[in-house]
Every structure is written in C-alpha cells, then in structure tokens.
Amino acid sequence: MDDTFDYRAGPQSGGREPAPGELGLVQAFVNSHYDLEHEHGSELLHSPSALGAWLEARGLLERGRAAKLSRSDLRRALDIREGLRSMLAANNGAAWDEQAVGKLNRAAGARPAVLIQFHRDGPSLELYERDIDGAFALLLGIVARAQLDGRWTRFKACPGDDCGWAFYDYSRNQASAWCSMSVCGSRSKARAYRRRNRRRGS
C-alpha cells in the first residue's frame, strides 16, 4: 500500500502494543471516539471539518477537500466506525450486531473507490481518488485483508462501560477481554464484587 498513508495507531489504553502494521490505521479510526492523547475522553470526529482534518492528517484525503465534507459524510463515517466497533465486540464474545453492520455496509459507498493491484508480496489497494469514498474504501480494504489473513480475530473492542476501546490481543491464548485490566477490568471486578455483597444482604 502507498507509503504516504499514516498507519500509526497512537497511544494505547493500559500501555498495550498497538495493532500491527496497516491495522493501526483502523485502530486509530475506531478509537477516535475517545481522545486519549489531548482532551481526555472527548469525541475527535465532532464535525465534518474535524473528520476532514483527521483523514487529511493521515493522507486519506487530498488537501483542500476537508472543508467540503458534509453532515452526511460525517454520519457515514460514524456508522462505519460504530459498525466496526460492533464487529470488534463480536471478536470479544458479544453477539453479531446485524443492525450496526448493516449500517456500516450501507455507509461504505455506492461506487468503486479502490483498485486492486498485484505484486510479488501480495495485492495492494490503490485509491482512484483521495476523496471521502476513497478514504472509507481504504479503511475497509484493510479490514478485509485482516479478516482474510487471520489477524482480525485478535482485534477486539473493550466491553467496559462507556469504553469500547479497540485493542489488539497479542496474548498467546487470545484471552484478553479488557483494554486495560487496571482500568476497565478492575472496575468490572469491583462491580461484580458489590453485586455479590448486595445479594448476600450486606
């Protein structure tokens, strides 16, 4: 794939290793609901121009196009993001969310936006244009490749309350459930402990 794209996933909850290679870009996109770096916990994609700036900074959108994005482009981006999060939750044991994935599939686009090209080390996805359809197609192309080569099942969404952080499970038995054991994991343990105590009538 084109080296001009920025695949870095950014800082991770619980100090986890980011998702490998190009999947880091998908991780950064899914985790744009929660700003871990600057304004703690705020939504990064809060307006069409904020979405444009995010895509532009990663090389997915040609300079000058960010200002032309509409409310409906933002809606599509959020449908794609939350559809992906539901798929990551399914990788972590949640039920497959037909409705969320349906929204994602409808938001993906109505015209071809990537071209598949073959090389000695496998296929690459080339954008026809660095517009919003191209940006979505590139992200979803990375997801499709990860599903095919087996990396996808290790990519999970944290089930913690108001969390949903996308993390990559490098553990040998692939049994990590929380973005961070010390944050979401211990919170959930504390809740289960309180529930048990309440049941005991204390």
55 binds Zn ion (CB under 5 A): no
For 64, other C-beta atoms within 10 Å of its C-beta total 9
Least separation in angstroms between CB 170 and Zn ion: 16
C-alpha torsion sign, points 16, 22, 26, 31:
positive
166 binds Zn ion (CB under 5 A): no
Q: Which of 187, 188, 134, 169 is nearest to 27 (CA)?
A: 169
Among 131, 160, 168, 188, binds Zn ion (CB under 5 A): 160
Q: Which is nearer to Zn ion, 16 or 151 (CB)?
A: 16
Least separation in angstroms between CB 171 and Zn ion: 16
Among 165, 166, 169, 188, binds Zn ion (CB under 5 A): 165
Q: Which is nearer to Zn ion, 5 or 16 (CB)?
A: 16
Least separation in angstroms between CB 158 and Zn ion: 3
Among 74, 163, 166, 176, binds Zn ion (CB under 5 A): 163
28 binds Zn ion (CB under 5 A): no
**Contact range with Zn ion by CB under 5 A, out of 90-98, 104-112, 147-155, 181-189:** 181-189
**Residue list 140-159, contact with Zn ion (CB under 5 A):** 158
107 binds Zn ion (CB under 5 A): no
Q: Which is nearer to Zn ion, 142 or 179 (CB)?
A: 179
Q: DSSP secondary structure string, the chain?
A: --TTS-----S-GGGPPPPPTTHHHHHHHHGGGS-SSSSTT--S--SHHHHHHHHHHTTSS-TT-GGG--HHHHHHHHHHHHHHHHHHHHHTTPPP-HHHHHHHHHHT-SS--EEEEEETTEEEEEES-SSHHHHHHHHHHHHHHHHHHT-GGGEEE--STT---EEE---TT----SS-IIIIIHHHHHHHHHHHHHHTT-
88 binds Zn ion (CB under 5 A): no
Q: Which is nearer to Zn ion, 10 or 21 (CB)?
A: 10
Binding stretches for Zn ion (CB under 5 A): 158, 160, 163, 165, 179, 184
